[in-house]
A and B are shown apart, each in its own frame.
Chain A
Amino acid sequence: MNIATKSPTIAADADGDTGPRGPKPKRTLSRRNIIVYGTLLVAAIYYLLPLYVMIVTSLKGMPEIRLGNIFSPPLEITFEPWIKAWSSACTGLNCDGLSRGFWNSVRITVPSVVLSIAIASVNGYALANWRFKGSEFFFTILIVGAFIPYQVMLYPIVIILREIGLYGSLSGLVIVHSIFGMPILTLLFRNYFTSMPEELFKAARVDGAGFWGIYLRIMLPMSLPIFVVAVIIQITGIWNDFLFGVVYTRPETYPMTVQLNNIVNSVQGVKEYNVNMAATLITGLVPLIVYFVSGKLFVRGIAAGAVKG
């Protein structure tokens, strides 16, 4: 009886009422929005201003730089500093610019990234799905490795590389980078594979797939986001590395970062600020492009696996 009288009342209310209806009006200039966007704007300027100065300076000629207005846009745009930085800036011994270092860095980064990710993903997969006796202990050791400062291991590795005859070569540096990427990457992959439903793995086993079969045919196709994250972490990490590059290579195999340092710090003649700025920008271009191209996938991968314990 109660129910019978209630529903017509609601219907009448809906017809006669003057309450809100339709889309909610947007408040564009609330106090909250002003604070939020104001803070964002200040932060953006704080980070973008140095970049602006660098770009502007790299496009000026030396006479204009000497005028001292570092914030003013170039009166006359010139790409001369960029060309010089790439192909003819001097690093003390030779004067063929950053190009040599760039190709060295490519030859270091590509194999290091591929090797470290290939090994770490299999590591993570094995630790997540094929628990063996002592696998937790093994994992703990690997993670502890991530907390030991690099400096402690610098010299022992010099000796190891010398003993196996790889000291000073690019392949030596590739091995070092691959090993040092192992803890964090294994953790990343292990957590991602652990977050995948266990029943999927069981189903594949019942279907008869083995260790590699499951890895290649089931797990790999499902883990693109985490691979993108790993690639980004490794490319930026290895490309930006300076310490290992300067310790484990010879001048002719110096990576780009070491060469950049040598160009900027060489003290013969006038400091060519425009060339230095251009050289820095060129060096930073690779990680920057990687971020821009894969930003969305990166965020997705981080959300998918990296955060989960």
Chain B
Amino acid sequence: MRVERAINASVSVRDLSLNFGAVQVLQALNLDIAEGEFVVLLGPSGCGKSTLLNCIAGLLDITDGRIFIKGRNVTWEEPKDRGIGMVFQSYALYPQMSVEKNLSFGLRVARLPKDEIAQRIARAAEILQIEQLLQRKPAALSGGQRQRVAIGRALVRDVDVFLFDEPLSNLDAKLRSELRVEIKLLHRRLQNTMIYVTHDQIEAMTLADRIAVMRGGVIQQFDAPQAIYNRPVNRFVAGFLGSPAMNFLEGQVEKDGPYLRFAADGLSVPLSTYAFADGAPPAPGAAALGIRPEHVSLNSGDGWPFSAQAVVEVVEPMGSDTLVWLKLAGQKFSVRMSSERAPQAGDQVTIGFDPMRASLFDAAGDRL
């Protein structure tokens, strides 16, 4: 049954392990990516996301496990035979070759007929709008143009799967957001499977059909961006996604009549509307309550299942909206709100939120 599922998927990773000497980088990792899906591998530096991508590309010899691409076991195949194209962070353009030669290198190595090569280059150049750059050397291109050529190099090879290894990290912020949109358009036009590695959560949220959040060589959560954002499976995922970061209040879950409540230093949050992960309420014990700054309202009247008084400590205007920092139950707490109604530092305010939108984590950091 397992193998059958692997055949239907575009890329399947089965029990993949990779050791560098005694260091276990990836441990029995499983991943199934559907045909035409845009999957982002997201995580902090050193979490193994680029390593996983290199394993899929065949640039690293794995210690154990199997890799399927289009249902074919490619575990021991050379990168060129896997039907993949790869785009690197540093562009990795061959400096001594013109753009055209860069694009055609793989095709010339594969000894494709000349007119076929010309045709494919013309198509890729048209898609990426680099026709006028074909005769230039990489040194004469800007960063954005170089990355376009690098994408083109994957494009001309007519591959099933595109692999992106932090392709936008070397670009400035403005160019990054421009190329982000272009990559999304490219995916819509080509409908290829794409696997994209990044540590930038904005890129992950905007591009992905599904995000795999990684940490320490283990996939923590693999789900649609909104699902990961709203229902993170553990405290690491909750804290890693979202900017400004999620608030965490340390406290404990207690019995409250027929229901449960979250209590922390004089604070009591009713959990009657909270959807527990297992469906059944957990046993009382130490816990952390996470709530995103944008899910908290400030001075917006009554009617919230939970509300409390607090004093504003710092106000950070960010243009479109303002981040208000306050102390709640002796712990740091932030509220994101529109700039017009922002309070001043020192003001006494009332905050309120719906526990339905909160995330509860147990002492081990797993979602309750």
Residues of chain A having any CB pair with chain B under 8 Å? 197, 199-200, 202-209, 213, 217-218, 221-222
Which of A200, A205, A206, A208 sits near B94, CB closer than 8 Å? A200
Complexed CA–CA distance, A56 and B329 (Å): 95
- Given A207-B153, A213-B109, is A202 in contact with B92 using a C-beta cutoff of 8 Å? yes
Complexed CA–CA distance, A213 and B80 (Å): 13
Question: In the bound complex, do residue A206 and residue B84 qualify as a contact, i.e. CB atoms below 8 Å apart?
Answer: yes
CB 8 Å contact bits of B159-190 with A (1 = contact, 0 = none):
00000010000000000000000000000000
A-B contact pairs, 5 of them (CB 8 A): A203-B88, A203-B92, A205-B78, A205-B79, A208-B78
Complexed CA–CA distance, A218 and B110 (Å): 16
Question: In the bound complex, do residue A207 and residue B95 qualify as a contact, i.e. CB atoms below 8 Å apart?
Answer: no
Residues of chain B in range 87-119 having any CB-CB distance to chain A below 8 Å: 88-90, 92-96, 105-106, 109-110
Cβ–Cβ < 8 Å partners of A222 in chain B: 95-96
Complexed CA–CA distance, A213 and B95 (Å): 16
Complexed CA–CA distance, A221 and B98 (Å): 13
Which residue on A lies nearest to B95, using beta carbons?
Answer: A222
Question: In the bound complex, do residue A206 and residue B105 qualify as a contact, i.e. CB atoms below 8 Å apart?
Answer: no
Question: In the bound complex, do residue B80 and residue A206 qualify as a contact, i.e. CB atoms below 8 Å apart?
Answer: yes
Count residues of B near A (Cβ-Cβ below 8 Å). 25
Cβ–Cβ < 8 Å partners of B93 in chain A: 203
- Given A207-B105, A207-B106, is A202 in contact with B86 using a C-beta cutoff of 8 Å? yes
Residues of chain B in range 50-109 having any CB-CB distance to chain A below 8 Å: 54, 57, 59, 78-80, 84-86, 88-90, 92-96, 105-106, 109
Which residue on B lies nearest to A203, using beta carbons?
Answer: B92
- Given A197-B92, A207-B80, A221-B96, is A202 in contact with B59 using a C-beta cutoff of 8 Å? yes
Cβ–Cβ < 8 Å partners of B94 in chain A: 200, 203-204, 218
Residues of chain B in range 304-321 having any CB-CB distance to chain A below 8 Å: none
Cβ–Cβ < 8 Å partners of B86 in chain A: 202-203, 206
Cβ–Cβ < 8 Å partners of A199 in chain B: 88-90, 92, 165
Residues of chain B in range 326-364 having any CB-CB distance to chain A below 8 Å: none
Cβ–Cβ < 8 Å partners of B80 in chain A: 205-208
Cβ–Cβ < 8 Å partners of A207 in chain B: 80, 105-106, 109, 153, 157
Which residue on B lies nearest to A218, using beta carbons?
Answer: B94
Cβ–Cβ < 8 Å partners of B105 in chain A: 204, 207, 209, 217
